[in-house]
Structure 1
Amino acid sequence: MHVYEDNYCKYDDHMLQLFTSSLYLAALVASFFASKACTVLGRRPTISMASTFFIAGAILCSVAEFKWMLIFGRILFGFGVGFGNENLSRPSSRTRNRPLTRIFNHHRNPGQPHRKAALKKVRGVEHVDAEFHQIVLACEHGRQVKQPFKKIFRKSGVPALVVSNMIQVFQQFTGINAIMFYAPVLFQTLGFQSDASLFSSVITGLVNVGATFVSVYTVDKVGRRTLLLQACVQMFISMVAIGGILLVHLKPTGSLDKGLAAVVVILVCTFVMSFAWSWGPMGWLIPTEIYPIETRTSGFAIAVSTNMIFTFVIAQAFLSMCHFKAYIFFFFSAWIVAMGLFVLFLLPETKGVPIEQVEERLWKQHPVWKKFFQYEGVARWHE
């Protein structure tokens, strides 16, 4: 791809927007079916279904001769994303030191000795009777809930519902799409010519993957809030700096000075880096950690749907937002400030909190969200 003519609005095309956003709309629809499939059939059949959709979409896109074939193939990819994402809510997707409920789930007699032995192995200690009993009670209570969506929308379910869904909204409004979209323009300025798109994808992709490993190794050491807040500062500085340079020096036609372009490429990489170890993975991890066992799968399905809705909105509108020119970077900078304030005041730290204790140790201890549990006992007694 060789970027030319208008540096900001070269690809303002409604058909291209439909092609891009159709995946997310399909994933939104699929997530509701995937939640039920994952609960009834289990993880492996659901993953197999996701794989089938991916393969069918790839085949259709590879042989496509008409636009509708490409769009339909993209929709099949969306179904694959919907079914694949749902499996993130299962216990095995949690971090290494807290996948305990999978030892007990889907068994009618969770008191068998080998399950207690497994818990001892995970914890590395012999005295686990109190925790074992607590997990057993939580799993039994979870199996007895017949209408998890009703429970989610009770007053005590509001904190987890708000936090998990706002994280999905913020993930899409970080501005990562703006960064990725304008990257080829910057790489072309550096002299990559027609290979600008390829080189920008390779370099930002490598930075993305490398930074994701940073998240894997640090998330249980420094905590979720620390990663998110640090990333907000780094993303804000990168975004404002990129916007300022482009506002002053990049016109609709022409190119940047190579020195400035190199600076902006470095800023792009620092932005991608901070997103990849924070809002990228945390957007999927945190919603699996803040719901109690009985509403976890349903709550995550709602979070996935919210993510797909706002990804669809961004994908459908983003190419037209090019008319903001460099100001689009300041638009997303304002969202990053809002994200930081949200984490600072409303997001509890889930590090080291077992899933069977999320209500007691997260929500009932939080200065804002604990108000939603003040009359919880009375409400349950009446039920």
Structure 2
Amino acid sequence: MEKLRFDFMVKPSADGKSNTICITSIGTPEGKVFEMPQEYQPVNLHQVICNTSNYVKVKKTLIKRHQIRRIWITLTKDISDVYLDEEQNLQFNDFYLEEISEERNNTEPMPSGSNKTLEELLERLLESKQTKSETQNLGKIARDFTIEKFTGRNLNPYQWIKNFNKECERFQIKEDRKKIEILKNFMENSSIDWYSCMIMKFTVESEWEQWERNFCETFANKGWSPIRYAFAFKYQAGSLLDYALKKEKLILEVRKTIDTGTLIDLIAFGLPSYVADKIDRGTLVSTEDLYNNIGQLEHLVGRNKYDKKNTTQYSDTKQKKTEEKKPCSICVKEKKGKRYHSEENCWFKNKNQTSVVKTVNNSELEVELNEENQKN
């Protein structure tokens, strides 16, 4: 024989997370095809083939899972020693290969140009249908994910991508390409631009670890603002339970590994004192116990508003009384000391008016007497 045809195919690895190029069968110029056992199919076991220039081109061509290429390779002494015995029987590692029957393999010896073109067209059509079907299925699966969309600001990227991976495991999405494709359904705002840039730089066929690492490095907030906001978040108004659930979510977003006791303390710390003081801290084992107690104390919120209203009215009355206790300005002016009474009831006010009248009357009388003396 002068050459053999090697059938290459991209298959998923054992863990399903990556792709592996395999040699599935070997064909002869006579049209016979021999199947390669599963354990011998990974191309890294066929070093003499990997060292050929033909395989370098095949490796560049096969980029998607389940793609197939059938390549004729000229036999060298090294290749013949591995795949042919002295009688020209096909073998590999001293293991004779089994010939595939026509029912299992409808292969022609050397396809002509027209047949080869038809084969490529059919292959592309099958790939297109498969890709379209996978995209539709991924869209349906994405709707069943129990995580919210990532906007670039709303969540801790480390925690979010961890939850995303858990959802992928739950729906048995193990291929890197599928993870990258389904990720698009959960991007919003600035994260959409990030996804587009990643597609242009690394393509959908890149490794998921690369995407995961870049995602965390891009959106990680290394400052203290999220920590401060989560820990200092306190009840302002509305439902006590709504506050508690919001506080728990904020804390878990920045510190997933926080212990339950500390989480309960931080939630209770943000409650109003008149509510927190009515909860027995020793009986709280989980956050659910805290929420149960909080639900029973919701009525205190309205009551506290009523108490505040009465307190405000009392404060206003007290302030008015304090304002009334200002010293009388008339007494101060007359240098009678600081006396606290209303100016209307001030005794010196009437006395001052009387003295003014008397002064005026005496002056008039003096003028009249002087005029009479002059006449006389």
TM-score normalised to structure 2 length? 0.20
**Higher RCO structure (Cα 8 Å, ≥6 apart):** 1
The answer to which structure has the higher strand fraction is 2
TM-score of the pair, normalised by structure 1: 0.19
